[in-house]
Amino acid sequence: MRAKNTFYLLSSVVGVLIIWFMYESFNQPGVGQLEGEFQEMAFYRNENNTGPVKRIYAVYTSSENLEELEQYGKFMPHTKYGSTTVYFFDNVLNTPKQLNPNSPHFESTFERSCIAVYEKNAMGQESFRVQPFK
C-alpha cells in the first residue's frame, strides 16, 4: 500500500510540473503584449551562417512611449556575437521598404522620420537613442 501511495504522489508531482512548464512556455512576454502599434516594414539579415549574424529592422510605430520602443527592441532576436539594430519610424509612408548592410542602412530621405534606434552589439551591450539623425 505504501508503494502505491508513493507512486500516486510522485505521479501527481510530475503531472503538476508538466502543466506548470507548459503554462510558462505558452505565456512568455512578447511583442503582442505591447500597447502601441508596431509594423515591421523592412528586414535585412546577412547570409553568413558561420560567423556573426547581422539583423536590421525598419519598424513603423504609432507609439510615442519610449519605454515601449526599447522593450520592442529587446524582444527582437539576437544571436551570440551578432548584432541587432531596430530603427523606429513615426510615418508609415516615410518608412524604408528596403534595407542594406552598410550604415546608415537606408536612404537619407527617411532619416527625418526616424524617431529612435535600438542596437544590441556582438558583446550583448544594448543602446537606445532617440532622434539619432538630428
Residue 9: inside a domain: no
Q: pLDDT tens digits for 51-81?
A: 788 999 999 998 888 999 999 999 888 888 8
What are the beta bridge partners of residue 76?
none
d(CA 118, CA 123): 15
Residue 10: inside a domain: no
Residue 23: inside a domain: no
Q: What is the pTM of this model?
A: 0.79
Closest by Cα among 38, 43, 44, 134 to 88? 38
Q: pLDDT tens digits for 74-118?
A: 988 888 888 999 999 998 888 999 998 888 899 989 989 999 999
- Total domains in the chain come to 1
Residue 64: inside a domain: yes
Residue 14: inside a domain: no
Q: Give the structural domain span for 48.
A: 31-130
